[in-house]
Structure 1
Amino acid sequence: MKPVLAALPLLLLAACSTTSSSPAPTGDAPAAAATPEVDSATVALASASGSLVSGKLSAMAMDGGVHFVGDIGGLAPGSTHGIHVHEKGDCSAADASSAGGHFNPDARPHGNPQGGSHHAGDMPNITADGNGVARVNVHVDGMTLGGAAGTNVIGRAVVMHAQADDYASQPAGNSGARIACGVIRAGG
């Protein structure tokens, strides 16, 4: 009887353990789930941080990445702004901080997307015309509209900043306040 009683705590511990292959939570934002691939998506940018900036972008799957086109208005004429894909599709905070950091599935340093190492969500700066409207026409390699969770930007956010991205300051290019935010949504 004593050997059985002595072994009981070990049996209970073994019964309570799990064999999950999932990693332990790290406190980081969960990765976007894989979703069906689509050919196009839209982004309705709404003002943040008390700005009057808003706009609409279309996104199309193209040539190994995603191509964004559209207009963003309410800017100072001739002003230049950083624009990035952020990790979370949440624009609920007044300052758009709920969108999290830049989309960066490969844990690279921030940089210029037109050369060198950079976040997957880093995009070239955009400049407003004389009427305060920035025309976006930019291709971003390495992202998808649906498909694999690591490259999928459906359900993530596009965030526009108050200043130009310097492409050097870590972790986000010193581009200032978040002045507009919109979630990337499948479909046109």
Structure 2
Amino acid sequence: MIIGKGAFEMNKMSWAMIALLPLLTGCNAPDASTPPAQDDSVVAEEAAPDAAGVLPTERAVADIKTADGKPAGNASATVDDGRVMLSLQVEGLPPGEHGVHVHMTGKCDAPKFESAGAHWNPANAQHGLEAPAGQHAGDMPNLVVDANGRGKLAYELKGATFAGLMDADSSAMVVHAAADDQKTDPSGNSGDRIACGIFKAGQAVGTPTG
């Protein structure tokens, strides 16, 4: 069979195109050495607040114990629009009114808890919600404990910052034996310290029920 010159040239070109095809397709293949782009949705999920809208770095919890080491509740400090909000829940404490304060040092050495230092007072103000030149950043209303030994209190710490609360030596939540008169320096005649907890970043170990 005789193949014309034109047909032979076309055949030659077809075989050349077939030979180049793998090279051409390889140029469009993704570069395996280039790492995949980071998924922004994953980063956003890791940095997202919890269900209460609070970032982990904006929460501190103190697990409160009595002088004999028994659990007595917890205090939780969170940040809301720049304000430090404190929520206190106690159990197993004597019924009645009790002075409660944030103290300046995160130490709770039983039985007297004197290691917690004085009230948290970065502005060097006078003690008490009723003091004309008050109040300490750690001052709070009295906690009312019911006949079952339970009590709750929520309050905005006036003049407080979360950075100050969680400084190098942290701070402590202290419950006193008697009511705070809210005007007498340095602690409102609120008596002995009967329970104490050190503020730490994170969640409470246990929350009173009921």
User: Does the alignment reach a TM-score above 0.5?
Assistant: yes
Separation (CA, whole Å) in 1 of partners of 2:71 and 2:190: 16
Is the CA contact 1:145–1:186 (under 8 Å) kept in the aligned structure 2? no
* RMSD (Å) for aligned C-alpha atoms: 2.2
Of 112, 121, 141, 2:158 maps to 141
Rg (Cα) greater in structure: 2
Equivalent position SS for 1:92: coil
Shift of the alpha carbon at 1:53?
6.7
Separation (CA, whole Å) in 2 of partners of 1:51 and 1:102: 22
Shift of the alpha carbon at 1:128?
0.9
Aligned residues: 145
Of 92, 95, 107, 1:74 maps to 92
Shift of the alpha carbon at 1:132?
1.3
1:122 corresponds to which residue?
139
Pair 1:172 & 2:187 matched = yes
2:79 corresponds to which residue?
61
**Alpha-carbon displacement from aligned partner over 1:21-64 (angstroms, at most 9, x marks no partner):** xxxxxxxxxxxxxxxx922111101112x596711122211243
Q: Unaligned 5+ residue runs, structure 2?
A: 1-55, 204-210
Separation (CA, whole Å) in 2 of partners of 1:113 and 1:87: 21
Q: Unaligned 5+ residue runs, structure 1?
A: 1-36, 147-151
Separation (CA, whole Å) in 1 of partners of 2:162 and 2:201: 7
Is the CA contact 1:91–1:98 (under 8 Å) kept in the aligned structure 2? yes
**Alpha-carbon displacement from aligned partner over 1:137-167 (angstroms, at most 9, x marks no partner):** 2221222222xxxxx1121111110011001
Of 106, 119, 127, 1:89 maps to 106
Superposition misfits of 4+ residues, deviation over 6 angstroms? none
2:123 corresponds to which residue?
106
Separation (CA, whole Å) in 2 of partners of 1:80 and 1:118: 20
Of 42, 45, 67, 2:64 maps to 45
Higher helix share: 2
**Alpha-carbon displacement from aligned partner over 1:114-145 (angstroms, at most 9, x marks no partner):** 98621111111110123110112222122222
Q: Identity, % of aligned pairs?
A: 40
2:35 corresponds to which residue?
none
1:183 corresponds to which residue?
198
Instruction: Normalising by structure 2, report the TM-score.
Output: 0.63
Equivalent position SS for 2:115: helix
Q: Which has the higher contact order (CA 8 A, sep 6+)?
A: 1
Equivalent position SS for 1:141: coil
Check 1:119–1:187 CA distance in 2 against 1; reply closer, same or farther (3 A cut).
Answer: same
